[in-house]
Structure 1
Amino acid sequence: MPAFVDAALAFPAALFSFLLVVVVGYWLVVMFVGGDIDLDGAQLPLGLGGIPAAVAFSLFVALSWFVSLAGVVLLGGGPLVLAAALAAGWTGTKLLIIPMRRLFPDKKEPSRHDFVGRRCVVRTGRADATFGQAEVTASDGSSAVVQVRTTGGDLLSRGQTALIFDYDAEGEFFYVMEDRI
């Protein structure tokens, strides 16, 4: 047991040992006190989808701690072990959250405002201030035909690419302008 404690308190495992104590404490509070400290709003550059940041961070810390502990025991520690632990924690977390996405569906409900800022293709003979339809592709790959209107007397023709820049909820149509890119 003393060898384990020595390894857990040696560099770089000590860095992750401290974080592991924090993570275990967090999950004990969640288990026994109930409730959840809201870390869902924290943005981690992992492509989490609907997975709470607390889950991803916990996985990262646990994997990094394990690799750093093994590195201390097998190689004696050092900066190279720290780099390997960080890389393994990052990669392992990314690989583990992929199947977990089904357990944590994305909470964001789709909205028509999601189309604002996207490009569309005019599908009617024309699109002007009073008439027009265009096809737009959503972030999930699905497409929709939406009502569009131009401003300032612009006239768009079939097949022309346009940029959606606003949504009129009352009229239930999108404002578009010619896409010059």
Structure 2
Amino acid sequence: MVELVQASFAPANVLATGLLIFVMLYWVIVIVGLLDMSSLDVEVETDIDGEGIGAVAWLNSALAFFNLGRIPLMFFLSFFALPFWFLSLGVNELLGTHDSWLGFTFILPLAVVCLFVAKLLTWPFVKLFSVMEKEQAPKTTVIGQVCTIMLPANATQIGQAAVQTNGSPLLLNVKTTQGHLVKKGETALVIDYLPENQLYLIEPYESL
């Protein structure tokens, strides 16, 4: 046990160990009720301009490939952290590189491998979260309502918008009609729901 702790906090493994501890603490806090399940959805904000749209679209495609956006970020991170820690300890123990600079060179390759492992492990949950989202999302009641942009969106990049309700604001995944771009803080009008993509179609809106 002492050897495992020492190996876990060796320089080459401390990043993987820290990530695993973070994930474990998160779930403990969720279990005891200090956080609710909605906190699984962590937003990653990306500021873009006209020249950056292509790069952001590529990034969104890469994230979608690894199921991010289809399942909550913290859920994915949980399936990434454990194999990352296990492989980090195993490889460095096998090669004797716990305290060597060579151990640091394994961090990125192991992280890439674990991204694919996490993609495989989370794949069965993609459909589950998709069904849950369909059951919870009021698809037609928000059409015609004004929303506030939380994350930028255009015709190709998916953003996020909030619609005010009697309770907490309703967060929607959105994209705009062709030729439009909406930025954080702007208002838009929800004009349609796209069931094939589970997205809401919006267009810029300015109140009089």
State the TM-score, normalized to the length of structure 2.
Answer: 0.50
Deviation at 1:108, TM superposition (A): 5.4
Please say if residues 8 and 69 of structure 1, whose CA atoms lie closer than 8 Å, have aligned partners that are also in contact: yes
CA pair 10-140 structure 1, distance change in 2 beyond 3 A: same
**Could you tell me which residue of structure 1 aligns to residue 78 of structure 2?**
58
Residues matched between the structures, number: 131
Q: Which residue of 1 aligns with 2:43?
A: 42
Q: Quick one: which amino acid aligns to residue 91 of structure 1?
A: F
Code of the aligned partner of 1:48:
L
Whether 1:103 and 2:159 are equivalent positions in the alignment is: no
Name the residue aligned to 2:21: 21
Q: After superposition, what is the alpha-carbon deviation per residue over 1:104-133, rounded to whole angstroms, capped at 9, x for unaligned?
A: 124656567968536xxxxxxxxxxxxxxx
1:172 maps to what in 2? none
- Match runs of 1:74-153 below 5 Å: 74-77=94-97, 78-105=103-130, 106=133, 116-117=176-177, 140=196
| Cα deviation, residue 84, structure 1 | 2.9
| Preserved contact between residue 65 and residue 85 of structure 1 (Cα < 8 Å) | no
Q: 1:83 to 1:41 in 2, by over 3 A?
A: closer
Percent same amino acid at aligned positions?
A: 27
Give distance in 1, aligned partners of 2:22 and 2:176.
Answer: 41
Local SS of the residue matching 1:6 = helix
Q: Name the CA distance, whole Å, in 1 between partners of 2:108 and 2:18.
A: 17
| Runs of 4+ residues deviating >4 angstroms | 107-116, 164-167
When the two chains are superposed, the root-mean-square deviation of aligned CA atoms in Å is 3.6
1:147-178 Cα deviation digits (max 9, x unpaired): xxxxxxxxxxxxxxxxx9959xxxxxxxxxxx
Q: How far off is 1:48 after superposition?
A: 2.6
The answer to whether 1:9 aligns with 2:9 is: yes
TM-score (structure 1 length as normaliser): 0.56
User: Between Structure 1 and Structure 2, whose CA radius of gyration is higher?
Assistant: 1
Q: Distance in 1 between matches of 2:117 and 2:19?
A: 17
